[in-house]
């Protein structure tokens, strides 16, 4: 690590002063197996119109973790949510994040931030490790569906409390139970569809879309009454709706790879674009909620009442428990079905 040498006098007879240089240790990653084509992986791991860039199936978990630094057809899909989770964590240290504390008015925002970090982290982990085996693929898929439902309900809770106008507060008793039911049904629908149909995305898209239409209802009501003025968060709310629609489009349609199969295998296919847009959507939504929180925090308890806020926050862990139990039940069915197939 260290190398010593000396600077000699002008006649070269004696050293004057020592000079120390530092040799950095080698940080080269071990060589990883090359990517393979679609015909070299089981059908479960193939994507339509993606012909190459797949990681071999059945290798050690260490390989899939290190493949985070290898170019394959899921590299960008992995980095997008992980970087978004990192940005979200950094933003909590900024001026907006300094106002977040665990009290009655801040608890819904804290729950939202936890749900967003969970969703982004689980999405990145699933993209990174799902090629390990079929069992791991299903396990991580169910984990993503649970985190997605948690994030949906966390967003619904925060949007209805921080981003709604005064005229909207009356249907709160109806809104949160509906958001609870739709978030749980979204988790159950996605798990069931994945277990029995594998790649039938339409029921999943419908359940997610219906839940989002309800979740964004407070913002739509506010925009219809106040227009694009009245709060710095309004343009961010408009942008989050646009990003969600774009992400939904790329989730449903394999564009652009369907037009040029093989050309967008590593960079630019619909799965990457969808995850990138969803990550940006989460960050934009977080910025909008931060702005609404700082703008309306003082009046939140006076408007809704401390007891109603506590009841609303208590429903969050109940949803987490319901979604985890649903995914666990589906997981057991999947494990039993795979064991029967192996026999």
In a domain, 13, yes or no: no
Give the percent of the chain with pLDDT over 70.
85
- Work out the pLDDT band at 301, boundaries 50, 70, 90: confident
Domain extent at residue 157: 75-86+104-255+263-342
H-type alpha helices, the chain: 61-66, 75-91, 107-129, 134-162, 172-197, 202-215, 217-226, 234-252, 270-304, 306-342
The residue-averaged pLDDT of 84-103 equals 73
In a domain, 292, yes or no: yes
Phi and psi (nearest 5°) for 54?
-85, 145
In a domain, 127, yes or no: yes
Q: Is the dihedral of CA 55, 59, 61, 66 positive or negative?
A: negative
What does the angle CA 206 – CA 211 – CA 213 come to, to the nearest 5 degrees?
Answer: 95
Please state, rounded to an integer, the average pLDDT across all residues of the chain. 86
Who wins on pLDDT, 245 or 294?
245
In a domain, 209, yes or no: yes
The residue-averaged pLDDT of 112-124 equals 96
In a domain, 161, yes or no: yes
When divided into structural domains, the chain yields a total of 1
In a domain, 208, yes or no: yes
The residue-averaged pLDDT of 27-43 equals 86
CATH of the domain at 161: 1.20.1070
In a domain, 334, yes or no: yes
Residue 67 in this model has a pLDDT that exceeds 80: yes
What does the angle CA 71 – CA 75 – CA 327 come to, to the nearest 5 degrees?
Answer: 145
In a domain, 184, yes or no: yes
The residue-averaged pLDDT of 303-328 equals 93
pLDDT at 295: 85
- Cβ neighbors of 102 (< 8 A, separation 6 or more) are 110
- Lowest average pLDDT, out of 55-64, 208-217, 291-300, goes to 291-300
């Amino acid at each position: 690590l260290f190398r010593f040498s000396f600077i000699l006098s002008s006649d070269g007879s004696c050293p004057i002063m020592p000079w120390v240089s530092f040799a950095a240790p080698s940080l080269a990653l071990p060589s990883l197996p090359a990517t393979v084509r679609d015909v070299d992986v089981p059908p479960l791991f193939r994507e339509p119109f993606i012909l190459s860039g797949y990681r071999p199936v059945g290798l050690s978990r260490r390989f899939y973790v290190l493949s985070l630094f290898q170019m394959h057809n899921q590299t960008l899909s992995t980095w997008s949510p992980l970087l978004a989770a990192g940005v979200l964590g950094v933003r909590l240290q900024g001026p907006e994040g300094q106002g977040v504390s665990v009290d009655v008015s801040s608890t819904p925002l804290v729950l939202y931030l936890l749900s967003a970090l969970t969703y982004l982290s689980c999405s990145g982990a699933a993209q990174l490790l799902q090629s390990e085996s079929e069992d791991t693929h299903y396990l991580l898929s169910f984990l993503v569906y649970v985190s997605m439902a948690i994030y949906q309900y966390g967003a619904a809770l925060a949007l209805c409390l921080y981003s709604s106008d005064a005229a909207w507060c009356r249907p709160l008793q109806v809104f949160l139970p509906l958001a609870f039911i739709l978030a749980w049904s979204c988790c159950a629908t996605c798990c069931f569809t994945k277990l029995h149909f594998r790649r039938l995305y339409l029921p999943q898209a419908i359940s997610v879309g219906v839940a989002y239409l309800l979740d964004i209802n407070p913002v739509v009501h506010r925009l219809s009454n106040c227009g694009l003025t009245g709060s710095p968060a309004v343009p961010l709310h408009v942008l989050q709706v646009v990003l969600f629609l774009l992400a939904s489009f790329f989730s449903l349609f394999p564009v652009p790879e369907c037009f040029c199969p093989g050309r967008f295998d590593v960079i630019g296919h619909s799965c990457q674009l969808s995850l990138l847009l969803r990550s940006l959507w989460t960050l934009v939504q977080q910025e909008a909620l931060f702005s609404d929180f700082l703008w309306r925090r003082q009046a939140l308890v006076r408007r809704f009442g401390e007891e109603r806020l506590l009841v609303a926050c208590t429903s969050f862990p109940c949803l987490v428990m319901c979604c985890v139990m649903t995914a666990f039940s589906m997981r057991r069915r999947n494990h039993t079905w795979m064991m029967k197939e192996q026999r």
